Each structure stands twice: as structure tokens, then as C-alpha cells.
Amino acid sequence: MSAALASLLLASGAAAPVGTPPPETGFRSFPAAGVVLPADKIFVPSRLNSPAPLVVVLHGCEQDADAIAASARWNDLAEKEGFLVLYPNQQWGRNPYNCWNWFLPVNQTAVAGEPAEIAAAVTAAKLLYPVDPDRVYVAGLSAGAATAAALLSCYPDVFAAGGIHSGVSYGLAATPADALDVMKNGPGSRKTQGLCDPGSYKGSVFVIHGSSDPVIAPSNADRVAADFSGARVRELIVPGLGHAWSGGAPGLPASDPNGPDATGLMWSFFSAAKRR
């Protein structure tokens, strides 16, 4: 999503007009006339509650919207429960591994960068679909989880709950070298460097991490829980889980079918939360 479109949408507080025709269902590009590549994706269930909860799902490195949708299977649950799922896509060329650049200072503010673009996509979804503004949630894996932590910290009034799966807390790195150190060695006593404050978030946070994660040290989960301790927090360390979506579809990268169903657990957690 372009910065201009992001600014325009963030400035609009309007909701989808009453009497809007029912949206087309299924898994599709969002918005339909997107001008950036790859376009974000959205899943609209065949039975859409109105107003409907919206879950924003952020992919990890070496993934995209289609990959995280296939592995985490949010669409299957959304079809059953009648909620919307929005999948922002990292834009081509921004990162050699298609990661969200959560470690760059520009992406640790509420006025610019990738979090602002994702927040603008949420605003666009509210304009186009009957979204319940009190039941907007965000979940991410790995780099997507770190970006979810940034969204909770920088847009605390937008999201009723967040799911941080195998991620890093907000604002602990300012360079790629910092990021690699935090991922490998854990957060230690690092101070939050970003301009936003995870302590400002008063919603709910579900933290899940594998005890055998070789990519992001499990101690990062404790730091996420501590930084969001002013919120309702649940932390789950899954024994033996590596760097993968717990309970995900079999045979896919970054997806472990043997762990607890992270998607179901998050949705159960989210369902009990409304925006304060």
C-alpha cells in the first residue's frame, strides 16, 4: 500500500455505509484495485457476521500472505466462525527474505513505515466491510510477530488483542545486526528504543513460542510478556516446537502439525477480548 493511500485512509474515520451490498466471498486480493505488488489478501466467509470481527495475520520471513494462510489455516476457522481475515503482504524488494523490517526505526513509529501501511489497510477494510471496530485483532509469526508487537505498541486503540508467535518484542533493535543479536541471544537487558510504548497497550496479548526454536531464542517470549504486562497476557512455551506455526498444516515450511493448535487457541483468546 502506498504512503499516500495510507495517509488518506488513516485520516478517514468512516465505516462501511449502511445498506452496502454483501461483499464477494472467498480469498482474494485486497483492495481489488491495489496498485502495489504483491497485493494484500482478504478472506471473506460465506456467512459473514455483521458487524464482523477482523483478524489481521502477518506472515514471517520467506513467506507471503498465501503461505501463512495455507499453514496457519485461519481461513478454515473464519469460514466456520464468520469473521474476516486480512493478510498484509510485504512489498517486493524491501527485504531480501521478504521479512517485515521490524528492526528499522522507521517501522517503530505510528506516523510512517510498514506499521502505518498495515494500519491503513485495516482502515480500508473497515470502509469496505462491516467490521466491528471493537473486535479487530492482529496475529503474526516471526518477523510478522515482531511487527504485530509494533502495531500493538503504536496503535494501542485499534487492536483488541494480539497474538505474538515466535517473535521479538517491540523496539529492541535498530539495525539488522541488532536484530540478529536479539534473535540469536535473546533480549537480555536491552531497553526499548522505539518511539511507541508497549506499556500503553491495555488490551490482550497471547504469546506462544517453541522451546526448541533455533531462529528466535525462546527468552524473547518472556520479554514480550513483560513488556505488555499492563495488558491481559497469556504465555505458552510449547515443548519441542521449533520455528514454526504450532498446529499448522503438514508438509509446509514453518508449519508444525504436531503442536497445539495456535490458530484455535488465539481465536478463543481473541473472542473474549473487545477494545477498551
Note down the domain range covering 43.
38-271
Query: Pairing between strand 131-141 and 204-210?
Result: unpaired
Confidence band (pLDDT; 50, 70, 90) for 32? Answer: low
A 10 A CB-CB count for 172 gives: 28
- Cα(208)–Cα(5) distance, rounded to whole angstroms? 33
Q: Is 59 within the bounds of a domain?
A: yes
Q: Is 148 within the bounds of a domain?
A: yes
Q: Is 14 within the bounds of a domain?
A: no
Q: Is 218 exposed, middle or buried (0-12, 13-18, 19+ CB in 10 A)?
A: middle
Confidence band (pLDDT; 50, 70, 90) for 274? Answer: confident
- pLDDT value, residue 38: 87
Q: Is 12 within the bounds of a domain?
A: no
Specify whether the CB–CB gap between 152 and 198 falls below 8 A: yes
- pLDDT value, residue 18: 46
Q: Is 221 within the bounds of a domain?
A: yes
Q: Identify the CATH number of the domain in which residue 248 sits.
A: 3.40.50.1820
- pLDDT value, residue 10: 42
- Cα(222)–Cα(17) distance, rounded to whole angstroms? 43
pLDDT, averaged across the chain: 91
Q: What is the pLDDT of residues 54-96, one digit of tens each?
A: 999 999 999 999 999 999 999 999 999 999 999 999 999 999 9
Confidence band (pLDDT; 50, 70, 90) for 2? Answer: very low
Q: Is 88 exposed, middle or buried (0-12, 13-18, 19+ CB in 10 A)?
A: buried
| Three-class SS of 85-102 | EEECCCCCCCCCCCCCCC
Q: What is the pLDDT of residues 153-187, one digit of tens each?
A: 999 999 999 999 999 999 999 999 999 999 999 99
Confidence band (pLDDT; 50, 70, 90) for 194? Answer: confident
What is the set of active-site residues? 142
Looking at the structure of the chain, the number of domains it has is 1
Residues 6 or more apart from 250 whose CB is under 8 A from it?
Answer: 257
Q: Is a pLDDT exceeding 90 seen at residue 17?
A: no
- Phi and psi at residue 244, to the nearest 5°: -160, 155
Confidence band (pLDDT; 50, 70, 90) for 36? Answer: low
Specify whether the CB–CB gap between 171 and 154 falls below 8 A: no
Helix ranges (DSSP H) in 18-142:
65-72, 74-81, 113-128
Q: Is 95 within the bounds of a domain?
A: yes
Q: Is 207 within the bounds of a domain?
A: yes
Which residues are paired to 131 by β-bridges? 52
Mean pLDDT to the nearest integer, 44-49 = 94
- Cα(226)–Cα(213) distance, rounded to whole angstroms? 20
- How many H helices and E strands in the chain? 8, 10
Q: What is the pLDDT of residues 107-151, one digit of tens each?
A: 999 999 999 999 999 999 999 999 999 999 999 999 999 999 999
Q: Is 56 within the bounds of a domain?
A: yes
Q: What is the pLDDT of residues 213-239, one digit of tens each?
A: 999 999 999 999 999 999 999 999 999
Q: What is the pLDDT of residues 238-256, one digit of tens each?
A: 999 999 999 999 999 999 9
Q: Is a pLDDT exceeding 60 seen at residue 15?
A: no
